[in-house]
Amino acid sequence: MHLSNVFRELHKRGMIRSAIPLIIVLLFNLLTVACTQAPQQASDGKIGVIVSILPQEEFAKSVGGDRVEVTVMVPPGANPHTYEVTPAQMVQLSRAKIYAKVGSPLEFELTWLDKLIAQNKDILVVDCSKGIELMESTDPDEPGIDSHIWTSVCNVKIMVGNICDGLSKIDPLNRQYYEQNRDDYLMKLDSLDSNIKSTLDGAADRTFIVYHPAWGYFARDYGLKQLGIEREGKEPKAAYMARLINEAKTSNIKIIFVSPEFDIRSAETIAHEIGGSVVAISDLYPDYLENMRNVARAIREAFK
Ligand SMILES: [Zn+2]
């Protein structure tokens, strides 16, 4: 029954005075409902989308345009294999409509996703990895699934498609808008892929050494060989360091790649031993298209 009808009925029966406690309870309930429903939507009416890592921010913004407000869980400079969520981030979850998870066995999501989505039982979880063939680590000493699916431009095309499907499910009236944005971004990814191919074209050397082996899918796509320094997420032992130094010397490698999210000391040691230097690249920088072009150029430079 509508509230004004309740009043009218009570007034007719001369019951307003005796019904005051009931009215207060009714008003309180209405306010509580209003307050618990309002935060579902971001404050300005935009759809709240949560993503785990920074590159996904560009994917979600590219598809969602001005209809979404994207929040990244693992902040700049943090490591998604070890990052711990803050209480303030837990609160952000209650305001979002979509959690777009990477979906590969990324430690951050394995540890936190269930706890995060428990904050908001209505949130739609979009699996960005749906349809992507997960790859075993290319390092025989480090078996297991490589979780860095976003270092493959081909994989990102699928991730972006999954985000588009999720947004269309939550906001079907704007499906066309999301699909158009998706197609625009897919074209940018295609031209990024061609750009990387031509950057790496003609390089006779194809092996690179990097502290944190995040580039397995990238290496697969462009016919490169990645050698990681880190062992099971930790500093390598001396014997393995010696092996890498040997490999670097025989392959005439002079550049050792590091990432700002990780310790660089062992990489510096190797660089010192081979008379080379360290160069920083990251799979976690925010501007995906630009970052990937820069990474390809840095790797190409290392092959000279
Ligand atoms: Zn990583």
| CA–CA dist 286, 283 (Å, integer) | 9
State the pLDDT confidence band at 14, using cuts at 50, 70 and 90: very low
* Res 95: pLDDT: 87
Q: How far is the CA of 81 from the centre of ligand 1 (A)?
A: 6
Q: How far is the CA of 213 from the centre of ligand 1 (A)?
A: 7
Q: How far is the CA of 106 from the centre of ligand 1 (A)?
A: 8
Residue 91 has pLDDT above 90, yes or no: no
Same-domain status, 189 and 72: yes
> The whole model's pTM is what?
0.84
Same-domain status, 272 and 188: no
Q: How far is the CA of 283 from the centre of ligand 1 (A)?
A: 7
Q: What is the pLDDT of residues 32-67, one digit of tens each?
A: 444 333 334 455 789 999 999 999 999 999 999 999
Residue 145 DSSP SS3:
strand
Q: How far is the CA of 46 from the centre of ligand 1 (A)?
A: 31
Residue 144 contacts residue 119 (beta carbons within 8 Å): no
Across all residues in the chain, what is the average pLDDT? 87
Q: How far is the CA of 127 from the centre of ligand 1 (A)?
A: 18
**DSSP code, position 41:** S
Q: How far is the CA of 233 from the centre of ligand 1 (A)?
A: 9
Domain count for the chain: 3
Same-domain status, 60 and 179: yes
Same-domain status, 140 and 51: yes
* Res 43: pLDDT: 56
Among candidate residues 172, 196, 220, the one where a domain is terminated: 196
Q: How far is the CA of 148 from the centre of ligand 1 (A)?
A: 6
Q: How far is the CA of 82 from the centre of ligand 1 (A)?
A: 10
Q: How far is the CA of 285 from the centre of ligand 1 (A)?
A: 12
Tell me which of 259 and 185 has the higher pLDDT: 185
Q: How far is the CA of 253 from the centre of ligand 1 (A)?
A: 23
Residue 90 contacts residue 64 (beta carbons within 8 Å): no
Rg of the Cα atoms in the chain: 25
Q: How far is the CA of 89 from the centre of ligand 1 (A)?
A: 21
CB hemisphere CA count around 189 (13 angstroms)? 24
Q: How far is the CA of 147 from the centre of ligand 1 (A)?
A: 7
Same-domain status, 125 and 181: yes
Q: How far is the CA of 300 from the centre of ligand 1 (A)?
A: 21
* Res 33: pLDDT: 41
Same-domain status, 124 and 231: no
Same-domain status, 76 and 188: yes
Same-domain status, 282 and 186: no
What's the domain range around 206? 202-302
Q: How many angstroms from the chain centroid is the CA of residue 34?
A: 32
From the CB of residue 159, how many other CB atoms can be counted at a distance below 10 Å?
A: 27
Query: Which of 127, 302, 134 has its CA nearest to residue 204?
Result: 302
Q: How far is the CA of 123 from the centre of ligand 1 (A)?
A: 26
Tokens of 258: 């590091």
Q: What is the pLDDT of residues 74-87, one digit of tens each?
A: 999 999 999 999 99
Q: What is the pLDDT of residues 125-154, one digit of tens each?
A: 999 999 999 999 877 777 789 999 999 999
Q: What is the pLDDT of residues 200-238, one digit of tens each?
A: 998 888 999 999 999 999 999 999 999 999 988 888 999
* Res 39: pLDDT: 36
Among candidate residues 150, 177, 196, the one where a domain is terminated: 196
Protein residues with C-beta less than 5 angstroms from the ion ligand 1: 214
CB hemisphere CA count around 47 (13 angstroms)? 27
- The domain that holds 89 is classified in CATH as 3.40.50.1980
Q: How far is the CA of 208 from the centre of ligand 1 (A)?
A: 16
Q: How far is the CA of 198 from the centre of ligand 1 (A)?
A: 26
Per the document, the length of the chain is 304
* Res 61: pLDDT: 98
